[in-house]
Amino acid sequence: MRGMSMTQNSKHAGNVVMLRGACLWIIMALLLAWSLVGLYNHLDILKAIFPGSPKRVLQAHLDFLIMSALILGFYAAKVFLPWHVRWAMVMGAFTNSSLFLMYALFPTLDPLHDTFNPIGLGPDIFNIYLYTSLLMTSYGFGKASVLVFKSTFEKNN
C-alpha cells in the first residue's frame, strides 16, 4: 500500500475493515435496542443479564450507533488510512461503547451505581481496559481526522 496516494478512487480505498466494523457495531446496537425493549417490559432474564442501570444499556446502544456513524463518515471520505489507524478506529469504537455495557453487566464497576466498589482486581483490570480504550479510540479517530484534513489540501481535490 506504500504506492497509494492519500486519496483513492477505488471502491474501498483500502478501508474495508471500517465498513465491516461499522456493520457489526450497528448489529450490536440493534441487539441492545431489543434488550432495552425487554428491560422496559420487565423480562426477568434480561434483568438478570443486565443487573445495572438500564440507562447504561441505552448509553451503550447510542454509543455503538454514534461510533458506527463516525466510522462510516470516514469510510465515505475515501481517503486511504494506514492499517493501524483503521484498526484503532474499529476496535476503539467497540471498546469505547462496551464501557457502558460493562457498567450495565457489572454494576460494581459503575461509579454512579449504589453497589460501586473500586477496590480489587476486577476494577483494576477494568481501569486498564478503560484507559486503553480511550487511548486507542483517540489515536484512531484523531489520526484519521488529521489524514482526511490533510487530503483536502492535495492538488487533485
Q: pTM of the full predicted structure?
A: 0.89
At 16-42, the pLDDT tens digits run: 999 999 999 999 999 999 999 999 999
* Residue 15 pLDDT class (50, 70, 90 cuts): confident
Residue 1 has pLDDT above 60, yes or no: no
Helix or strand or coil: residue 77? coil
In the chain, the amino acid numbered 154 is E
Tens of pLDDT, residue by residue over 133-150, are 999 999 999 999 999 999
Average pLDDT, the chain: 93
- Long-range residue pairs from 105-113, CB within 8 A, at least 24 positions apart, any chain: 105/49, 105/50, 105/51, 105/52, 106/52, 107/51, 107/52, 107/53, 110/52, 110/53, 110/56, 112/53, 113/52, 113/53
